[in-house]
Chain A
């Protein structure tokens, strides 16, 4: 069966520090991969999505970047964090349309 792993679960980082969040999917090949951010009490904002290795689409101009170095690995990065980068970051994958998205357990990032 397919599983998605996301880590770390929580992270507290100072302003100006770098960021690297990792997401991996098991049990499937060539998945579509997504990064979403959720501010406290708010909806899900699509940040990046990828349909294949090295193929990244950015949905919102911001302080973040994404990479997909391997088929089932998706990385979210920042060179210098801002206070506004705080939030709940969710990785998701999709395969067959009818199966919808499967989300990872999320990373709660607090920038101080």
Chain B
């Protein structure tokens, strides 16, 4: 089952914050986050492996609530370079290594 991301699109001004959510109807082993620039391949941002875990990458961090089967990506003080489409990828409880990706959230940061 494909995870559901929300919102579908976000428009920000530089310096503003954003939150992107990823929800699954199935138990999860891990959640990955990727960013894709237009016309390019997705780039790995981070992985969360355990419930309640939080990780950070520059001013981008994420949380994983295993019980709620949800993950959130937090973008703080957004920069122009943060623009792109963000995908969460989930791996089921059996840790197959196969990622099923959400439909993506398009983020546009304006000056």
Contacts and interface: CB of A to CB of B under 8 A. Distances in A.
Contact of A46 (B32, B41, B98): B98
Instruction: Indicate the size class of the contact surface on chain B.
Output: 20 to 34
B41 A103 contact: yes
Interface string A32-68: 1010100000111110010100000101000000000
Main secondary structure of the interface of A (DSSP, over half): strand
A99 B44 contact: yes
A98 B30 CA distance: 10
Contact of A43 (B43, B87, B95): B87
Nearest to A36: B101
Given A97-B30, A97-B49, A100-B32, A44 B97 contact: no
B47 interface: yes
Contact of A98 (B47, B97, B103, B104): B47
A101 B102 contact: no
A25 interface: no
A102 to B, nearest CB: 7
A36 B32 CA distance: 16
Interface of B: 2, 30, 32, 34, 40-44, 46-47, 49, 87, 89, 95, 97-104
> Which 7 residue pairs across A and B have the least CB separation, nearest first?
A100-B44, A103-B41, A44-B101, A43-B103, A43-B104, A43-B101, A106-B41
